[in-house]
């Protein structure tokens, strides 16, 4: 069941859409903001609200990088893996993060704090190598700098 | 040297408020267009200014606008493509974060030219800061009466909505972007019909890049001759050029369109880092062909780079030094394209992973005789005209040109059964 808040937020977003199903991505985004990720139940809830089938909603949800169909940690680390960051040392940073968090890409640390997701070009190529943690962008990374940044996310 | 797009952007990129923007002459061009011009004269001005799309394809902006049929129904849409996801590209971020009102003014004028009363900004989700600043600027513009009903007393209305993309590279392709805006999977659509005829919700739709639209207020405000005089080449205006990779000063500079690759690389980016030599560069993002030493004095513009077998693309170059493995470099690019392929058409869905696996094997020292020929076959088979959209052909541009200029590096990997750079 969608909560009252979820319904209100989705309704507000649908104002910009000529038809309910055009707000499918917005609705999934709202659900994810409230629940951390989009479960099967979330897909079914959105489908019922927009007059779509769950399969239709799932086909949208699984297409996009930022709709999570599995649970994630309290914070999401998006490490840029595209060309400029690769040139500037992405592979070393990935190894560092894998060791530090004890996960493979896509995994969540045992304490539930971080999910590590390599991500396509973050548009910070002049600051490479770069990553985002939740909504915050960090550039010119080194392993030491990564350690210091992660400390800020309990 | 004039820098109309960036001259008022502060070094720390903190955005201009509406009153600060108006102090720089902001919103005067929108007033002029809506109060003293008609849609056709606005469109003709932009055509005559020879503004070409800054998102990669380089199509004449005004001509694109003019393709909306004269007798089209009144419901039309303007869409800003702010989905900057081409690896190596970081130019629109500056315009969005540093001066969002400039984009809004460009949108007001463009919407007037195509007579649209609804516009969408399709923004990539990673640009959280840009999203917050855009929303604030939109609220300021609404409060000032520059958006909403009867703008500047002209009788024209405009509503602007921001759509935060859920993230997929193919969304930058205009018809895929339209599908995403309709809440669908972002597969490209077949053309024709072109979006100018039948686009968003089946209505005539114009999709323009951020940098493209930011030029529009300056063209209307200062005129065609001034705009053409900014450039060193036959197409008008300045260009945001960027450089990333192992150069001394990676960054972004607004320069006359047609500035040479050498000037950007050596003067603005400060040349290669100490101890490194220049080996090649992609002039305009991941989906452009390599340029090498012999090309460096070419003007970075649409026609000259086209004649050299590459493309201006987004104008943000990715520089490759002699200590970076070209096979690894291309492998990284192809991995991106294989991952981001939408899967709609077979050559792209099946071909790109095959190329990626072949490159991975070569890089890992498991390359076989004939692998280079397999790569060459794909470069043709996934080329322009053989796929549903331009994603796979774009992916083949760095591959085909790497095979042309760095072929020995590929064969050496196979012969030595390992990567000489690792």
Task: Give the whole-angstrom CA distance, residue A153 versus residue A109.
Answer: 13
Closest of B265, B287, B260, B263 to residue B401, by C-alpha: B287
Contact criterion met (CB below 8 Å) for B211 and B95: yes
- Identify from B77, B90, B264 which residue to disrupt to test chain A contact, counting A C-beta atoms within 10 A and taking the largest count: B90
Average pLDDT of the residues in B304-309: 95
What are the Cα distances from residue A53, in Å, to A45, A48, B234? 10, 7, 53
Share of chain B above pLDDT 90, in %: 99
SS3 category, B368 = coil
Check pLDDT > 90 for residue B137.
yes
Q: Which pLDDT score, from 0 to 100, does residue A144 have?
A: 97
Q: Which residues of B touch A60 (CB under 8 A)?
A: 183-185
pLDDT of res. A97: 98
Banded model confidence at residue B290, pLDDT cuts 50, 70, 90: very high
Helix (H, G, I), strand (E, B) or coil at B339: helix
Quick: pLDDT tens for B72-89. Answer: 989 999 999 999 999 999
Say if residues A51 and A20 touch (Cβ distance below 8 Å): yes
Minimal-distance CA residue of chain A relative to B90: A123
Is the omega angle on the peptide bond into residue B176 within 30 degrees of 0, that is, cis?
no
Per the prediction, chain A carries an average pLDDT of 96
Per-residue pLDDT reduced to its tens digit, A22-62: 999 999 999 999 999 999 999 999 999 999 999 999 999 99
Neighbours of B132 (CB within 10 A): 14
Q: Does B85 contact chain A (CB < 8 Å)?
A: yes
Residue B213 has pLDDT above 90, yes or no: yes
* Residue keyed to tokens 């490194």: B276
**pLDDT one-digit tens code per residue, B36-48:** 999 999 999 999 9
pLDDT value, residue B163: 95
- Residues of chain B with C-beta less than 8 angstroms from the C-beta of A87: 244-246, 318, 320-321, 324, 329
Q: What is the DSSP string of B126-174?
A: T-HHHHHHHHHHHHHHHHTTSSBSSGGGSS--BEEEEEE----GGGGSH
pLDDT given at position B1: 84
User: What pLDDT does A15 receive?
Assistant: 87
Query: What is the predicted pLDDT for the residue at B89?
Result: 97
Each residue's pLDDT tens digit, B248-271:
999 999 999 999 999 999 999 999
Question: Rounded to the nearest 5°, which phi and psi values hold at B81?
Answer: -85, 100
The CB density around residue B411, as the number of other CB atoms within 10 Å, is 15
Strand-pairing partners, residue A77, are A116, A133
pLDDT, tens only, B389-404: 999 999 999 999 999 9
Residues of B whose CB is below 8 A from A125: 87-90, 242, 244, 250, 316, 318
Q: Is the pLDDT of residue A17 over 90?
A: no
Tens-place pLDDT, residues B320-368:
999 999 999 999 999 999 999 999 999 999 999 999 999 999 999 999 9
Q: Do residues B334 and B375 lie in contact, with contact meaning Cβ atoms separated by under 8 Å?
A: no
Q: What does the pLDDT read at residue A16?
A: 83
């Amino acid at each position: 069941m969608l909560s009252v808040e979820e319904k209100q937020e989705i309704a507000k977003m649908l104002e910009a859409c000529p038809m309910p199903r055009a707000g499918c991505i917005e609705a999934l985004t709202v659900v994810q903001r409230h629940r951390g990720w989009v479960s099967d139940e979330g897909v079914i809830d959105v489908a019922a609200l927009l007059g779509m089938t769950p399969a239709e909603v799932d086909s949208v949800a699984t297409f996009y990088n930022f709709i999570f169909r599995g649970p994630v940690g309290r914070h999401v680390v998006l490490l840029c893996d595209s060309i400029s960051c690769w040139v500037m040392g992405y592979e070393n940073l990935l190894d560092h993060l894998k060791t530090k968090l004890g996960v493979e890409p896509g995994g969540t640390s045992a304490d539930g704090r971080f999910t590590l997701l390599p991500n396509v070009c973050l548009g910070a190529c002049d600051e490479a190598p770069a990553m985002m943690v939740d909504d915050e962008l960090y550039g010119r990374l080194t392993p030491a700098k990564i350690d210091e940044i992660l400390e800020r996310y309990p | 040297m004039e820098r109309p797009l960036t001259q008022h952007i502060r070094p720390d990129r903190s955005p201009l408020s509406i009153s600060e923007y108006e102090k720089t002459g902001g919103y005067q061009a929108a007033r002029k267009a809506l109060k003293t011009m008609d849609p056709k004269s606005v469109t003709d001005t932009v055509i005559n200014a020879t503004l070409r799309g800054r998102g990669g394809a380089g199509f004449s902006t005004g001509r694109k606008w003019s393709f909306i049929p004269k007798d089209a129904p009144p419901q039309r849409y303007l869409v800003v493509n702010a989905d900057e996801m081409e690896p190596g590209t970081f130019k629109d971020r500056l315009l969005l974060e540093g001066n969002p009102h400039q984009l809004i003014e460009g949108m007001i004028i463009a919407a007037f030219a195509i007579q649209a009363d609804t516009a969408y900004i399709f923004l990539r989700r990673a640009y959280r800061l840009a999203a917050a600043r855009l929303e604030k600027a939109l609220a300021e513009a609404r409060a000032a009466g520059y958006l909403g009903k009867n703008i500047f007393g002209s009788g024209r209305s405009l509503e602007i909505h921001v759509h935060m993309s859920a993230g997929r590279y193919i969304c930058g392709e205009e018809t895929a972007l339209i599908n995403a805006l309709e809440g669908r999977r972002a597969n490209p659509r077949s053309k024709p019909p072109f979006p100018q005829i039948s686009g968003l919700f089946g209505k005539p739709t114009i999709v323009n890049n951020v940098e493209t639209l930011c030029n529009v207020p300056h063209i209307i405000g200062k005129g065609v001759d001034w705009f053409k005089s900014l450039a060193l080449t036959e197409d008008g205006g300045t260009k945001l050029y960027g450089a990333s990779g192992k150069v001394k000063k990676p960054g972004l500079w607004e320069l006359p369109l047609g500035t040479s690759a050498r000037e950007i690389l050596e003067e603005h980016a400060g040349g290669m880092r100490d101890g490194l030599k220049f080996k090649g560069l992609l002039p305009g993002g991941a989906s452009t062909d390599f340029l090498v030493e012999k090309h460096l004095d070419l003007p970075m513009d649409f026609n000259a780079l086209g004649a050299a077998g590459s493309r201006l693309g987004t104008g943000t170059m990715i520089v490759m030094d002699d200590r970076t493995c070209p096979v690894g470099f291309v492998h990284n690019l192809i991995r991106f394209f294989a991952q981001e392929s939408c899967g709609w058409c077979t050559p792209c869905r099946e071909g790109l992973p095959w190329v990626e696996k072949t490159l991975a094997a070569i890089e890992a020292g498991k390359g076989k005789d004939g692998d280079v020929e397999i790569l060459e076959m794909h470069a043709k088979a996934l080329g322009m005209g053989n796929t549903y959209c331009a994603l796979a052909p774009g992916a083949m541009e760095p591959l085909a040109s790497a095979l042309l200029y760095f072929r020995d590096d590929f064969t050496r990997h196979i012969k030595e059964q390992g990567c000489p750079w690792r």
